[in-house]
């Protein structure tokens, strides 16, 4: 449901707005983890998450209003589905990963997620023609395997080792890495505001994961 909402929202809202709303997810997941997983959300981690979100807002500001068709209410609905779906999924993964192998966990969630989407696709995609070209097939394979299956397997393994709120802070790096790739390979121009946002994201990530005094003095095994 998270991926469905994300892709559908792109039809209705501008990239900047979609980026900002989608990146509420680490904050929402941290709140859910504190309630349902009894994770301790320290002030340091919370400030890091908020800082990361502020950085994302600054990065996304230049994209507000671009490529945004009419119908923002519909777009917000899909964004909410995406954000809540991914947040709840992360909490459930964190809860179950201690007793289930990460590879099995990844496979099960992709299979069960595909079932409702497959059943709904004849109704939601009835008027869309799909051309199975070589480029389409390559894109599908890259998105499905390294872009989804491998990433989720690694993410599940990360959640075995870290608190959800601290691990989730790394998701703020996705737009930053995208900016770096665009600048490197497509000569995209980065505004001072965008660079400031990227620096704030990195600072927020560092703050969220900076070890506390207790962790620094904890014995290593």
C-alpha Rg value of the chain to the nearest Å? 19
38-96 pLDDT, tens digit per residue, is 999 999 999 999 999 999 999 988 777 655 544 566 778 888 888 998 999 899 999 99
Is 82:90 a contact under the CB 8 Å cutoff? no
Q: Which of 143, 170, 147 is nearest to 159 (CA)?
A: 170
Cα–Cα distances in angstroms (integers) from residue 38 to residues 89, 135, 136, in the given order: 16, 46, 44
Average pLDDT, the chain: 85
Contact 13, 68 (CB under 8 A): yes
Helix (H, G, I), strand (E, B) or coil at 173: helix
Tokens of 78: 């899909």
CA–CA distance, 203 with 149 (Å, rounded to integer): 29
Q: How confident is the model at residue 206 (pLDDT cuts 50, 70, 90)?
A: very high
**Domain residues of the chain, as ranges?**
2-121+130-216
Binning pLDDT at 50, 70 and 90, where does residue 164 land? very high
- For residue 128, give the DSSP letter: -
Supply 118's token pair: 């497959």
Say how far apart CA 99 and CA 119 lie, in whole Å: 30
- For the ranges 3-7, 98-102, 122-126, 157-161, the maximum mean pLDDT occurs at 157-161
Q: How confident is the model at residue 126 (pLDDT cuts 50, 70, 90)?
A: confident
Single pTM value for the model: 0.80
């Amino acid at each position: 449901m998270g991926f469905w909402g994300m892709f559908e929202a792109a039809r209705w809202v501008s990239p900047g707005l979609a980026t900002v709303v989608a990146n509420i997810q680490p904050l929402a997941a941290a709140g859910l983890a504190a309630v349902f997983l009894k994770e301790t959300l320290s002030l340091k981690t919370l400030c890091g998450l908020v800082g990361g979100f502020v950085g994302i807002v600054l990065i996304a500001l230049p994209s507000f209003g671009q490529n945004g068709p009419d119908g923002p209410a519909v777009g917000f609905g899909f964004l909410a589905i995406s954000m809540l779906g991914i947040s709840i999924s992360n909490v459930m993964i964190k809860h179950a990963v201690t007793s289930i192998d990460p590879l099995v966990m990844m496979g099960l969630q992709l299979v069960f997620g595909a079932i409702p989407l497959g059943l709904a696709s004849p109704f939601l995609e009835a008027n869309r023609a799909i051309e199975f070209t070589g480029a389409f097939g390559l894109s599908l394979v890259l998105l499905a395997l390294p872009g989804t299956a491998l990433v989720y397997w690694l993410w599940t393994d990360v959640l075995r080792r870290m608190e959800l709120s601290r691990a989730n802070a790394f998701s703020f790096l996705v737009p930053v890495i995208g900016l770096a790739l665009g600048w490197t390979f497509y000569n995209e121009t980065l505004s001072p505001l965008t660079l400031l946002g990227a620096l704030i994201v990195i600072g927020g990530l560092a703050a969220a994961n900076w070890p506390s005094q207790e962790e620094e003095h904890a014995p290593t095994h």
